[in-house]
Amino acid sequence: MAPPGLGTDEWVDRLYSRPVARALVALAARTPLTPNQLTLIAAAHGVAAGVFLGLGAGAWCAAGLLGFLAWDCADGQLARRRGVPGYLGRAVDGLGDYAAGIALHVGLCVDLARGLPLAGALALGLGAGASLAACSAALDRYKRRYRGDTDDLAAIERERAEARGWRRWLLGRFLPYAARLNRAGAVADRDAYRRAAAPALRLWLWVGPSTHLALLALAAAWGRAEAYAWVAVGPLNLLALCALGWQRRADRAGRE
């Protein structure tokens, strides 16, 4: 667990996503809805937001993004509340995040093409998407390393072996990802690593996926989605590079 005073949630999640998700879960718990169905609802909001962005409906895009951020937190909360076992939910959640992220940045490229040459729109839109993907992967990796989280690879393999159809396929894709995260989370001196990594983690929490999507929602509602794209490829990546510099020092401390 993280030491007192240093949580591992992004500011958007602390202030908005998790409080709203708790209210949604209180309602969903009274229904037959499953955590995976909440994940599908979240993904549908994210994909719809991308479609609206491409159509130039910025306010509807912002509404879809706010729904995505809340429902994307609600699925895990419902799973923990009901004690749903296994790793399939995490794999489905990751797939939903990919679908939403791709749809949003395709929509962003279409929106940017209204005011930029096609090559410029593609470069800026795909650059923003690459920023989201890179910062998301880094935050996931370094949060888990900081907390000392690991996945039971044998349990994932057993769950995969017992599954059928798309569930088996998806768990097969999730297994090597979990193995990479376990390797990335290994440190020799956890306490020394945490002391050194705290500044880097605080900065990572300002450049993660929720930050990206909240800024996109604000920019879309304002009718200036290109502002988000420039912030994503500029200031957010600059902050990520600063965090990476601190992170390298923390990694050295953890190996000593």
> pLDDT digits over 124-175, tens only?
999 999 999 999 999 999 998 898 888 999 999 999 999 999 999 999 999 9
Give the contacts of 67 (CB within 8 A, at least 6 positions apart): 42, 45, 49
pLDDT bracket for residue 190 (50, 70, 90): confident
pLDDT mean across residues, the chain: 92
* DSSP line for 14-68: IIIIHHHHHHHHHHHTTSS--HHHHHHHHHHHHHHHHHHHHHT-HHHHHHHHHHH
Per residue in 9-29, pLDDT (tens digit) is: 999 999 999 999 999 999 999
**Burial class, 135, CB count within 10 angstroms (exposed 0-12 / middle 13-18 / buried 19+):** buried
Instruction: Give the chain's end-to-end CA distance (angstroms, integer).
Output: 21
Can you give the residue ranges of every domain in the chain? 11-149+185-255
Full-model pTM: 0.92
Q: Residue 102: is its pLDDT beyond 70?
A: yes
Instruction: Supply the pLDDT for residue 179.
Output: 92
| pLDDT-above-70 percentage for the chain | 96
Q: What is the pLDDT of residue 2?
A: 43
Q: Which of 21-30, 56-65, 69-78, 245-254 has the lowest mean pLDDT?
A: 245-254
| Range with the poorest average pLDDT among 115-124, 190-199, 222-231 | 190-199
Residue partners of 171: CB distance under 8 A and separation at least 6: 87, 88, 91, 156, 159, 160, 163
DSSP H helical ranges for the chain: 11-12, 18-28, 35-55, 58-82, 88-112, 118-147, 153-162, 165-184, 190-204, 209-222, 225-231, 237-255
> Burial, 85: exposed, middle or buried (Cβ in 10 Å; 0-12, 13-18, 19+)?
exposed
Instruction: Tell me the fold of 11-149+185-255.
Output: Four Helix Bundle (Hemerythrin (Met), subunit A) (1.20.120)
In order of 51, 59, 129, 230, 235, the CA distances from 221 in angstroms are: 14, 4, 19, 16, 20
- Asked if the model's pLDDT at residue 254 lies above 90, the reply is no
In the prediction, which pLDDT does 184 show? 79
Residue 5: predicted pLDDT: 41
Share of the chain above pLDDT 90, in %: 79
